[in-house]
Amino acid sequence: MRRIWAPWRIEYIRSEKPKECIFCQKPKENRDAENYILFRGERNFVILNLYPYNPGHLMIAPYRHLADLDGLTDEELLEHFDLVRKSARALTDAYNPQGFNIGMNLGKVAGAGIEDHVHTHVIPRWNGDTNFVTVVSDLRVVPHALDATYAELMERIA
């Protein structure tokens, strides 16, 4: 039997799950540090992923609730991808990754966890970040706490 110690997960397990889209709800709360919102643009914002693939895994989302790219205005699209670029720069300054995975999962079959609100993932990558634990146990080790990641990126993303 495999046992994984992850005491931070109990808060999520016991918490009431949001009924509203998190990309719509979180910016309205005006609790950016608690919600790990790193930056607010005029039309889009940058937020850390609560269940990151790697340290620094963040997402860019428009404020408007849209399921696909066709609904974005030119201004929303331009700012969205400008924030992708700025986010990659901030992650480079903070963590010196050797590469990035940058992309969108549009639709449930494409792997979208939140399929009704378009968003872009920016994931820093390092040589060897796929270690034996992932290969032998279908498990990912994320060696950096969200609070620490948030503090480091806040200094660089603005």
Active site residues: 119
CB 59 within 8 A of CB 130: no
Q: Is the separation of the CB atoms in 73 and 124 below 8 Å?
A: no
Please list, residue by residue across 81-105, b when 16 or more beta carbons sit within 10 angstroms of its beta carbon and e when fewer do. Answer: eebbebbbebbeebbebeebebebb
DSSP character at residue 110: G
Cα angle: 134, vertex 137, 143; to 5 degrees: 45
Geometric angle at alpha carbon 21, from 115 and 6, rounded to 5°? 85
